[in-house]
Amino acid sequence: MRPRAGTTGVDSSVVRALVDVSADGLAVLDPQGRFVELNPAGSRILGFDVDELLGLTAPFVDPPPAAGSDVRRQTEWQGGDGRWQRLEYRVGELPDGGSAVWFADVTEHLREQERLSAITRAAASVAASGSLRATLDAMAREVWMTANIAAVQILTIEHPRDELRVVGMAGFGDTTGFTDRLSECRKLGADVRFTEALETCRPVVVPHRKRVIMRDPRWQPLHRIMGEPDWDSFVSMPLIVRGRVLGVINAYYVPGDDPGPGSLAFLSAIADHAAVAIETASLLAQTRSRAQMQERRKLARDLHDSVVQQLFSMGMQARALRSRLPRAEGRAGSARDDVEELVGLARNALTDLRGLVFELHPLELADHGLPEAIRSHAAGLQARSDLVIDVQIADELELDLGIEVLEDLYRIVQEALHNIVKHADADRAGIELRPSVDGGVTVRIVDDGSGGSAPEHGGSNLGLVSMRERAERWRGGLTAGPRPGGGWLVEVTLPANTGA
């Protein structure tokens, strides 16, 4: 900044040195509000060379305050790199009708305040959460409302190869079919960068990502959805709780506003709260499930101890009565036929009720353990269908698991076999129980069918979701998909010390 002609009093070289070393912007404006002089810091803040700014109308258009006033005002300015900034400034009147201006860039400071407020609101939404989807939608909106983020997704996914679930979104237009479209992109070989965040447990930052996606034909199924928000760079922040990755927050940044350290710290804080919300919802679901299991067990015991026994006694009495009736024509023959029907009804009712009791709570789990319960179910299913089922139990398998965990594993096997019989057109199926690498347990169910147990081939999507939820309830994972040699695979793995 050049000292103005006629400067008196303090040595002009001292004034120039003070102006030049100032970290804040200092400028002199003429009476028309145009830049006359500017220090190096001011040029740097505004994003233009001094010579480019001289003669331009400054953004500091407010009339000067009263003498001695310390009023600070704010205005917006678009710098040389295209970014919009928030400037704070003070104006002082000069004798020639011009103005002296002090100014500073407070954009990041204001954003930090917004981020802190968003974090506080996110924490409050977790504390008051009644619905996981509503909570994470609210968190996504908090992130989206920060000045430099165009759109946000919060995704949960168990494994990079698994299907994801969108549980929070903001900033996008019509996202109908997003999950299916993303699955199609992955099948086409699209480079899905958020999987790196899942695998490495570290944030992934990708500058200028939108142009790559929009030019890549493998992303074509999502071009309409991803093309609508005005964004450029991309960040995927993992959701981690107790060392376990539950999903990611994907943030899409407006053009010209790259994610800096402050923004990444903000996303990390939001990710922590989102992970807590997901974990809390899982624990609540687990608590509800345990309560439901306890109610089913009580009902099963009551039915077994009362109604089943009474039906059994009714059948015994009917058979005894039948043995005392003569085999004769007429009324005696008619009575014997009636008793025969009564015996059949009692037998069928007892069979149906025992099946209901077993569905409510497979008592063999508590009496004989999971392997025998699975063998028993497989044998019964094989007898009722044309499916040949081979059950393999590893000799070294030790199941030190709670009854709730065992029941969920049993239900997963039951649902998988149901899908095979109903949809897969298979001749053979196999069930394998073995220890997992980390000391937990792995259950594999395979078939030699046409892959028809997949939802896209008419299988039960609800059943697949139910199996996955049962596995996730105990911090486990479930994968399902076609086998390279044909048929279908369902595999669930639970970690060690699960529900013991």
Edge-first strand listing for the sheet containing 428-435: 388-393, 428-435, 441-447, 488-494, 477-482
Tens-digit pLDDT profile for residues 172-217: 988 888 888 888 898 899 999 998 998 898 999 999 999 999 999 9
CA distance 108 to 56: 25
- Whether 307 has a pLDDT exceeding 80, the answer reads no
Task: Average the pLDDT over 433-450 and give the result.
Answer: 87
Residue ranges of E strands in 407-448? 428-435, 441-447
CA distance 89 to 316: 97
- Is residue 185 a contact partner of residue 218, using CB atoms and an 8 Å limit? yes
β-pairing, 388-393 vs 428-435, is parallel
Q: Alpha carbon 313 to chain centroid distance?
A: 53
* Residue of 153, 156, 154 lying closest to 171 (CA atoms): 153
CA distance 464 to 26: 65
Q: Output the CA angle 4-21-8, nearest 5 degrees.
A: 30
CATH for 364-500, among 2.60.40.10, 3.40.50.970, 1.10.3720.10, 3.30.565.10? 3.30.565.10
Q: What's residue 174's pLDDT?
A: 86
Q: What's residue 207's pLDDT?
A: 92
Q: What's residue 459's pLDDT?
A: 45
Q: Which ranges of 6-106 does DSSP label H, i.e. alpha helix? A: 12-21, 40-46, 50-53
- Is residue 197 a contact partner of residue 204, using CB atoms and an 8 Å limit? yes
Of all residues in the chain, the percent with pLDDT exceeding 70 is 71
Q: Do domains 12-105 and 364-500 have the same CATH topology?
A: no
Q: If DSSP codes are grouped into helix, strand and coil, which group holds residue 116? A: helix
Element (H, E) at 182: helix 178-187
Residue 77 zone, left/alpha/beta (φ > 0; ψ -120 to 50; rest):
beta
- pLDDT confidence of 388, banded at 50, 70, 90? very high
468 versus 66: which is more confidently predicted?
468
**DSSP for 184-233?**
HHHHTT---THHHHHHHSS-EEETTHHHHHHH-GGGGGGHHHHHSS----
Sign of CA dihedral 454, 456, 462, 466: positive
Q: What's residue 458's pLDDT?
A: 39
366 versus 256: which is more confidently predicted?
256
**DSSP for 379-403?**
HHHHHHSS-EEEEEE-TT------H
Element (H, E) at 75: strand 73-78
CATH for 12-105, among 3.30.450.20, 3.30.565.10, 3.30.70.20, 1.10.3720.10? 3.30.450.20
Tokens standing for residue 65: 């305050």
* Residue of 281, 498, 295, 288 lying closest to 409 (CA atoms): 498
- Whether 282 has a pLDDT exceeding 70, the answer reads no
Tens-digit pLDDT profile for residues 89-141: 988 888 888 889 999 988 877 776 666 666 566 555 554 545 667 777 777 88
**DSSP for 59-115?**
S--SPP--TT----EEEEEE-TTS-EEEEEEEEEE-TTS-EEEEEEE-HHHHHHHHH
Q: What's residue 54's pLDDT?
A: 92
Edge-first strand listing for the sheet containing 165-170: 165-170, 149-156, 244-253, 234-241, 204-206
Q: What's residue 164's pLDDT?
A: 64
What is the pTM assigned to this prediction?
0.47
Tokens standing for residue 313: 């006694």
Class of domain 110-287: alpha beta
Give the type of residue at 308.
Answer: V
* Residue of 297, 273, 175 lying closest to 224 (CA atoms): 175
Task: Average the pLDDT over 441-464 and give the result.
Answer: 68
Domain ranges of the chain: 12-105, 110-287, 364-500
Residue ranges of E strands in 197-351? 204-206, 234-241, 244-253
259 versus 185: which is more confidently predicted?
185
